[in-house]
Amino acid sequence: MTESLINVTLDWHDRGLHYGDGLFETMLKVGGQVPHWESHCQRLVKGCKQLFLPSLDLSWLEKKLTEVTKKTDTCIVKIIVTRGVGGRGLKLPNPDQCSVFVLSYPFVQPSNKTLKVSVCDTRLPMNPNLSGLKHLNRLDYVLATIELSNKTDNDEGILCDSEEFIVEGIINNLFFIKDNQLFTPCLSLSGVNGIMRTKIIEHWAKIDKTVHIGRFKLGQLLDADECFFCNSVQGIRSIGSIDGQKFDTGAITRLLMKRLNNFLPINTDGLG
């Protein structure tokens, strides 16, 4: 892709607005660096292929990110990639064109407390064509956020799919531990394939352990010894309660926080 084919101004006719026809990445910039930058790029490239979006010029993207965030060493960065400006209707525009928007937000240090969590009634649809992707069709998550805001004082919600299998949080991936074994929902039907989730699975493999990836019912989560959420902006955070049922921050959550939260601006051990 040549630079001339990257649209950086937002147009009324951008397919991101009309159809949510695109992808996004959210990441931290800390001390002038973006932790896991290569992983974010790899996921973006893979997502573009899956949605038949034009391939991205990653060195242009890195330069753009540096330019947009040049005034700050530490911030949150959101990259939005869309299929560019279209005419009327779904018919695809010039296949070589896309829009790329790089936005920067102040970083707010998350609280060190364990998370108070509630199970959402909102169900995620099962959609193998889109599952795993960090795409722009997020109405289900908006509805879950509205639902959560109507409950008192919850930090995050747990989302299940329409067959009642647990998937993830609204803005986090989910792990739980039972009898020293690590479990996380598979994302082949619903959910977002998070970078931190991948880092945890890779780390666990490095120390010769197996992550059990599968479809698990809520009962299995509630029967866990410990559980935690993770994302690229807040790292790993221990779950303190699910709908009032209390969980302790156990040894495995502590270990993973210690090993993998070190990219955060202030190393939160999250032990509350």
Binding site for its own copies (CB under 8 A): 10-21, 24, 51-52, 76, 78, 80, 82-83, 87-92, 101, 103, 105, 122-123, 125-127, 129-130, 135-143, 145-146, 149, 162, 170-171
**Pick 24 or 183: Cβ nearer its own copies:** 24
Query: Residue 59, CB half-sphere, CA atoms under 13 Å: how many?
Result: 3
Whole-number Å distance between alpha carbons of 223 and 239: 13
Smallest gap from residue 105 Cβ to its own copies (A):
4
**Pick 72 or 162: Cβ nearer its own copies:** 162
Smallest gap from residue 138 Cβ to its own copies (A):
4
**Pick 174 or 224: Cβ nearer its own copies:** 174
Smallest gap from residue 205 Cβ to its own copies (A):
31
Whole-number Å distance between alpha carbons of 241 and 246: 4
**Pick 191 or 247: Cβ nearer its own copies:** 191
CB atoms within 10 A of CB 108: 9
Whole-number Å distance between alpha carbons of 243 and 28: 30
Q: By the 8 A CB rule, do 222 and 242 touch?
A: yes
Smallest gap from residue 133 Cβ to its own copies (A):
9
Closest CA to 100 of 5, 232, 195: 5
Closest CA to 40 of 54, 28, 52: 28
Smallest gap from residue 44 Cβ to its own copies (A):
16
Smallest gap from residue 96 Cβ to its own copies (A):
15
**Pick 183 or 194: Cβ nearer its own copies:** 194
The dihedrals phi and psi of 152, each to the nearest 5 degrees, come to -80, 130
The dihedrals phi and psi of 65, each to the nearest 5 degrees, come to -60, -45
Q: By the 8 A CB rule, do 192 and 37 touch?
A: no
**Pick 75 or 166: Cβ nearer its own copies:** 75
